[in-house]
Amino acid sequence: EAQVTQNPRYLITVTGKKLTVTCSQNMNHEYMSWYRQDPGLGLRQIYYSMNVEVTDKGDVPEGYKVSRKEKRNFPLILESPSPNQTSLYFCASTGYSTDTQYFGPGTRLTVL
């Protein structure tokens, strides 16, 4: 089954404690991206990757890092999380040969 998986689905953490949210897709997609969704602000892109070892900043990259060492994985790293990073995070992927964007189930992060 074609899918994008994210882990964890829910996370409560404290300020400054490094965390990683994993994202993996099984469709051999070239393009992957991370979004955060906040009430009243909609979805905003954090980072995106056009292919392995190719990443670029989206609209709100501050406080986040990503890596794309393998085609299937695109982890989101928060080196020192802060309360303003409390949000719902989505990973998405698409390929050059497909029209459809596939979304992960979301990760609800709370930073205390």
What residue ranges bind other proteins (CB under 8 A)?
A: 31, 33, 42-45, 48, 50, 58, 88, 90, 92, 94, 99-103, 105-106, 108
Minimum CB distance to other proteins, residue 30 (Å): 9
What whole-number distance in Å separates Cα of residue 64 and Cα of residue 62?
Answer: 6
What whole-number distance in Å separates Cα of residue 111 and Cα of residue 52?
Answer: 30
Question: 15 or 100: whose CB is closer to other proteins?
Answer: 100
Question: 18 or 57: whose CB is closer to other proteins?
Answer: 57
Question: 8 or 16: whose CB is closer to other proteins?
Answer: 8
User: Phi first, then psi: what are they for 39, rounded to 5°?
Assistant: -55, 130
Q: Are 44 and 74 within 8 A, CB to CB?
A: no
Tokens read off for 97? 């040969």
Minimum CB distance to other proteins, residue 80 (Å): 26
